[in-house]
Amino acid sequence: MSGYRLDDGGLINRDNPLTFTFDGKEYTGFEGDSLASALIANGVDVVGRGFKYHRPRGVMSAGVEEGGALLTVGGGRFREPNTKAPVQPLFGGLVATAQNAWPSVQMDVGRINDVMKRFLAAGFYYKTFFGVRGGTKDWMLFEKIIRKAAGMGRASREPDPDSYETAHAACDVLVVGSGPAGLAAAKAASDAGKDVILAEQDFVLGGSYLSRPGGIDEAVGAIDALRIAGVTIMPRTCVFGLYDSGVAGLIEQVSDDPGLHGVRQRTWIVRPREIVLATGAIEQPLAFGNNDRPGVMQAGAVRTYLNRYAVAPGKRAVVATTNDSAYAVAADLVAAGVGVTLIDAREIGPDAPDGVKVMRGMVPIRTKGNYVLKGVEIGTLDDEGYAAAHDTLDCDLLAVSGGWTPAVHLTSHRGPKPVWNDTIHGFLAGTTNEAIRTCGAAAGVYDHDGCIASGEAVAQGEAGPQPEEGANPAMPLYEVKSRGKKLKCFIDPQHDVTTDDVRLAEREGFVSIEHNKRYTTLGMATDQGKVGNVIGIAIMADASGRTISETGTTTFRPPYSPISIGALAGRGTYMHFRPVRRTPLHDWNLAQGAVMTDAGLWKRPWYFPTDGESMDDAYIREMKAVRSTVGLCDVSTLGKIMVQGPDAGEFLNRVYVNGFGKLAIGKARYGVMLRDDGIVYDDGTVWRMSETDFLMTTTTANAAGVMAKLEEFLQTRWPDLKVQLTSVSDQWAGIAVAGPKCREVLQAVTTECDLSDEAFPFMGIREARIAEADVWIARISFSGERAFEVYVRGGSANAVMDALWDTARPIGGVLYGTEALGALRIEKGHVAGSELDGRTSLDDLGLGGMASSKKAFIGKAMSEREGMRDPDRLQLVGIAPVDSDKRLRAGALLDSRSDMVDQGEGFITAVTDSPDLGHWIGLALVKGGLKRWEGKEMISFDPARDGNTAVRVMSPHFFDPKGERMHG
């Protein structure tokens, strides 16, 4: 191809030349150019290599259907592979490189595949490459080579440096496409008083206006009218998918070079009442010999390059057509000074445009040339549809029109299969009862005035003009068959799918169009079959003796054209990937040197190292201090739910396995709740503040889930209960004050509340004031020590914590984190998340005695099932190493033998080094539990880390089993 810039015309700014590089070589284009138009203007003909055979590829189209000019734009962290050159606006400093070629597009060694092409038919890889040895080794050797040869662009391995965001909008009408139909539809809808958004994927509005001589001026008028009418106009915004309830996904290209603070792309989620699709039609190629050679282009694209970009893609052109649309292309080529011969497959057709030589009844048989197009052999079709050579025409541009097919992808996203239409020889959108309508070329109305009328009518809810055959009906040709030497006739130039591939697949029984697509990969390239689908289906139909309608089509999937993953992620990246939940004491903890850990979405203090302590040293020190003096711990993450109302007690009775109706005011009680299936769901304490007011605490992990479940019970199962629920998890902070000196610390800061055993017994709750803040204090203990938990509004948490810490620190108190918290509970044999694993029952956890026999509760019935009572169930036990120097590991399996097979007898759920006992201890779930194993030895099996360790099974209540410390 020998493209060049025309002297005048085009929607380009010749006063603003832009410099760019392609494969390291510098070129100049103009503002308004696409990367493709600038490359053609500079005479660049080969821009890439085919996927499979590595044949040279040039620019083939002027839109998102591009199958040849897929380039990598940008370098380093900015490299974006597989950019379609026709839709990439040129900008100064743009760096483009060719793909899938080594060492260069001119000299690609992958071309060897083209020589081997006779062996590389559709599906050949299913028939070989697995080797003769058993196993997968041989295939994986081949796979390495295949992977390297396949793929297209090379992605960066560095993080994408740019920013993306998500935005939301609503409107009455979303119009997709800004060609004649789209502009007319937007105007009509706006005139009817509707709030309209008009989205256009191109960087210039106007659609097919831009390809017509003088069309640019016509478009400007129509667009201005929309601006005045207040239509929201969104250029460079691709409607990539239509989803349920008519919600549309859009991606707006905000900037090609956003810099540090800008946004590259924005995802829009638009909720329109109605959608009008004016998405146009896509010109179809013809299958003939070597029709992939650089220099072969869609006829309509040639027109776009001439009129919109003032670029002539060649000096001597042949236009090959099956319909009237290409005559205008020929006329425009002549006007641009390019010599043209038009060959029309039909005997009919419009009059020859001035200066155009028209040859009727003539089809292209094969292209000539070595590397790029030098000529085309043409001929006539016999009665059986085979071509006989007639002549060879010299040319460097072959503009092909095999007819048009509407862009019905967006409707297809909603489910309706496209329907074949014999008038236009293309697929129309299937019918839908959703508020989605199609107009213009997308509805098969191809003439310019008809498109405008169609847009206007459809926007007003009328049918408007319908597809027509016209004076010279198009010829449904699809393929030029030849009796001569077999040549590759490409259907899908991106995936290198040929007519032979489709026919072979059909012979092998892949007769369903879905099978054919998957076997040949037709339509699975980055254009999703925009170019090849129709002729592929037509050839399939021909091969199987069915009509196109009977053959059907595959389903178009979102996105309409490829969209970046970064844009879809929007701002939900890095630290914003998931919300970070911080307690009211977060900063306070950090100021005290807390090392934080992730607990679900929460950040919690893990341990508080002093003087560069290791975690192990820190948590052991924290534990010792809690056991000997006092420790403070932020427990704000616990779920806290107010349960209020006359039936609150009854409600809690149903939800928990144990009874709450008779809980005294001013007292708290530990409770366990089950799922419907009888498995333990959650535990916590419930405090009774008054006859009708309870505060329920839940585990951190289940705070939200329990709340939702309680709401479900009240609103769906037991609507007769008068209970109000309010989550106060985020409103209230909680501080555990644990250890023998807890009373001393607390009494110093809350003088008016008597904390003596008599006035404030174990499981008591009291209102009090600390640091001028109202607090609730409960005498409850997770650590096994005498302990209180103080609950305070989040805003006062720092003041209360300050007051407590000022008192605790001088007497040797500590702050402790989740590691010590967990270790203390293991010493006590209290169950937590690792035992409440969604598979354990009350009995499994040794909590069977809690279940009330006087009332029914959630999960009770299902607890009676045979499997829930099986003596082989995994049950809670304590373990310690036989050799007290050995450490234990959570996640180790347990068995009676060291050569364990299958699953063993159980596993270790949680472990800690116990400073009180002087050795490691652990909790475990073991088949048969204590009844079967108490006092016996087992082997801890941990090949993942430490190997085998002998352990002894014992009661899980290692420390102060009678609970004297917390009561005393």
Partner 1 sequence: MIRITCPFCGERDHSEFSYGGDATVEYPALDASVGEWNEAVYKRSNPRGPHKEYWHHLNGCRSWLIVERDTLTHEVGKVEFAHPGLRAAVEKTA
Partner 2 sequence: MSKYSVWSVLREGLRGQTGWDRAWRDPEPKPEYDVVIVGGGGHGLATAYYLAKNHGITNVAVVEKGWLGGGNTGRNTTIVRSNYVQPVSAQFYEHSVQLWENLSHDLNYNVMFSQRGQLGLFHTPAARDAQAKRVNTMLACGIDAELLDREQVQAMVPHLDYSINARFPIIGAILQKRAGTARHDAVAWGFARAADKLGVDILQQTEVKSILREGGKAVGVETSRGTIRAKKVGVAVAGSTGHVMAMAGIERLPIESHKLQAFVSEPLKPLLDYVVSYGAPGSHFYISQSDKGGMVFGGDLDFYNSYAQRGNLPIVQDVAECAMAIMPCLGRVKLLRHWAGIMDMSMDGTHIMSKTPVDHLYMNAGWCYGGFKATPASGWHFADLIANDRPDDLTAAFSLDRFERGYTIDEKGMGPTPKLH
- Which residue in 316, 159, 171, 306 sits closest to 239, CA to CA? 171
Residue ranges in 671-700 that form contacts with partner 1 under rule CB under 8 A: 676-677
Contact range with partner 1 by CB under 8 A, out of 513-521, 583-591, 858-866, 914-922: 858-866
Closest CA to 461 of 185, 762, 204: 185
In the complex with partner 1, the residue whose CB is nearer, 515 or 855, is 855
Q: How far apart are CA 905 and CA 368, in angstroms?
A: 75
Q: Is 385 helix (H, G, I), strand (E, B) or coil?
A: coil
Instruction: Provide DSSP, 753-820.
Output: S--STTTS-TTBEEEEEETTEEEEEE---SSSSSEEEEEEEGGGHHHHHHHHHHHHGGGT-EE--HHH
- DSSP β-bridge partners for residue 356: 340
Task: Tell me whether residue 72 or residue 750 sits nearer to partner 2 (CB atom).
Answer: 72
Listed in sequence order, the residues at least 6 apart from 201 whose beta carbon sits closer than 8 Å to its beta carbon are 64, 87, 236, 237, 238, 239, 561
569 forms part of the interface with partner 1 (CB under 8 A): no
Tokens of 790: 């103080």
CB of 709 to partner 2, least distance (A): 10
Q: Is 419 in the site for partner 2 (CB under 8 A)?
A: no
Q: Is residue 487 at the binding interface for partner 2, with CB under 8 A as the rule? A: no
Q: Which is nearer to partner 1, 11 or 723 (CB)?
A: 723
**Cα distance between the two ends of the chain:** 95
The DSSP code sequence of 898-918 is SS--TT-SEEEEEEEEETTTT
572 interacts with, out of partner 2, partner 1, none, CB within 5 to 8 A per kind = partner 2
Q: How far is the CB of 811 from partner 2 (least distance, A)?
A: 31
Asked if 308 and 211 touch (Cβ cutoff 8 Å), the reply is yes
Partner from partner 2, partner 1, none contacting 227, C-beta within 5 to 8 A by type:
none
Q: Is 660 in the site for partner 1 (CB under 8 A)?
A: no
- Distance between CA atoms of residues 169 and 921, nearest Å: 58
* Least distance to partner 2, CB of residue 66, Å: 13
Written as one string, the DSSP assignment of 222-277 is HHHHHHHHT-EEETTEEEEEE-GGG-EEEEEE--SS-TTTS-SEEEEEEEEEEEEE
Residues numbered 385 to 424 that lie near partner 1 (CB under 8 A) are 415
Residue 222 C-beta: closest distance to partner 2, Å: 32
- Contact by Cβ (8 Å): 396, 316: yes
CB of 583 to partner 2, least distance (A): 16
Near partner 1 in 81-100, by CB under 8 A: none
Cα–Cα distance measured from residue 486 to residue 287, given in angstroms and rounded to the nearest whole number: 13
d(CA 534, CA 422): 13
Q: What residue 164 binds from partner 2, partner 1, none (CB within 5 to 8 A, per partner kind)?
A: partner 2
Query: Which one, 441 or 823, has the nearer CB to partner 2?
Result: 823
Q: Which does 42 bind (CB under 5 to 8 A by kind): partner 1, partner 2, none?
A: none
> Would you count residue 107 as binding partner 2 (CB under 8 A)?
no
d(CA 887, CA 50): 60
Angle, helix 325-335 to helix 299-307, in steps of 10 degrees: 40
Residue 413 beta carbon to partner 1: minimum distance, rounded to whole angstroms:
13
Residue 627's identity, in one-letter code, is: R
Identify the residue among 547, 573, 614, 726 touching partner 2 (CB under 8 A).
Answer: 573
User: For residues 640-699, which are near partner 2 according to CB under 8 A?
Assistant: 675-679, 681
Tokens 């058993």 -> residue = 134
Residue 166 and residue 568 in contact, taking contact as beta carbons nearer than 8 Å: no
| Candidate list 25, 127, 168, 662; residue touching partner 2; CB under 8 A | 127
Instruction: Report if residue 601 touches partner 1, rule: CB under 8 A.
Output: no
What is the distance between the alpha carbons of residues 596 and 609, in angstroms, rounded to a whole number?
Answer: 11
Q: What is the DSSP letter of 716?
A: I
Write each residue from 938 to 967 as x if it is in contact with partner 2 (CB under 8 A), else as -, in one continuous string. Answer: ---xxxxx----------------------
* Crossing angle of helices 818-828 and 615-628, rounded to 10°: 60
**Residue 347 contacts by C-beta under 8 Å, 6 or more apart in sequence?**
360, 361
**CB-CB contact of 298 with 211 (8 Å):** no
- DSSP letters of 13-28? EEEEEEEEEETTEEEE
370 vs 433, beta carbon nearer partner 2: 433
The least CB distance from residue 573 to partner 2, in Å, is 5
662 is in the binding site of which of partner 2, partner 1, none (Cβ under 5 to 8 A by kind)? Answer: none
Pick from 616, 691, 711, 837 the residue near partner 1 by CB under 8 A: 711
**Least distance from C-beta 429 to partner 1, angstroms?**
16
* DSSP 8-class letter at 208: G
Map tokens 């201005």 to a residue: 224
Max CA pair span of the chain: 114
Rule CB under 8 A: say whether 865 interacts with partner 1.
yes
- Is 857 within 8 Å of 655 (Cβ atoms)? yes
- Confirm or reject binding of residue 590 to partner 2 (CB under 8 A): no
Window of 185-193, 422-430, 474-482, 833-841 that interacts with partner 2 by CB under 8 A: 833-841
> From partner 1, partner 2, none, which one binds at residue 857 (CB under 5 to 8 Å depending on kind)?
partner 1
Rule CB under 8 A: which of 429-448 touch partner 2? none
Q: Is there a contact between 568 and 777 (Cβ–Cβ < 8 Å)?
A: no
Judging by DSSP bridges, how do beta strands 595-599 and 602-607 pair with one another?
antiparallel
Residues in binding contact with partner 2, number by CB under 8 A: 125
Contact region with partner 2 (CB under 8 A), list: 18-26, 228-236, 499-507, 768-776: 499-507
Q: Of 67, 153, 294, 349, which one interacts with partner 2 (CB under 8 A)?
A: 153
Q: Is 116 in the site for partner 1 (CB under 8 A)?
A: no
User: CA–CA distance from 143 to each of 103, 114, 127, 134 (Å)?
Assistant: 22, 19, 14, 16
Show the binding pattern over residues 846-885: x = contacts partner 2 (CB under 8 A), - = does not: ----------------x--xxxxxx---------------
Q: Segment near partner 1 (CB under 8 A), from 210-218, 220-228, 556-564, 850-858?
A: 850-858
Distances (CA, A) of 751 to 18, 678, 728, 743, 744: 78, 45, 27, 11, 11
Q: Which of residues 225-264 bind partner 1 (CB under 8 A)?
A: 243-247
Task: Estimate to the nearest angstrom the gap between the alpha carbon of 328 and the chain centroid.
Answer: 43
966 contacts 933 by C-beta, under 8 angstroms: no
271 binds, among partner 2, partner 1, none (CB under 5 to 8 A by kind): partner 1
Q: How many residues bind partner 1 (CB under 8 A)?
A: 27
Select 681 or 732, whichever has its Cβ closest to partner 2.
681
Does residue 950 interact with partner 1 by CB under 8 A?
no
Q: Which does 519 bind (CB under 5 to 8 A by kind): partner 2, partner 1, none?
A: partner 2
Q: Which two tokens stand for residue 361?
A: 């009844």
Tell me how far, at minimum, the Cβ of 726 lies from partner 2, in Å: 24
712-741 residues near partner 1, rule: CB under 8 A:
712, 714-717, 719
- Applying CB under 8 A, does 23 fall inside the site for partner 2? no
Among residues 860, 889, 932, 957, which is the contact residue for partner 1, using CB under 8 A? 860
Q: How far is the CB of 724 from partner 1 (least distance, A)?
A: 11
- Is residue 361 within the footprint of partner 2 (CB under 8 A)? no
Number of Cβ within a 10 Å radius of residue 751: 10
338 binding partner 1? (CB under 8 A): no
Contact between 651 and partner 1 by CB under 8 A: the answer reads no
Overall size of the chain counted in residues: 968
Residues of the shown chain interacting with partner 1 in the complex, contacts defined by CB under 8 A: 243-247, 269, 271, 415, 654, 676-677, 708, 711-712, 714-717, 719, 856-858, 860-862, 864-865
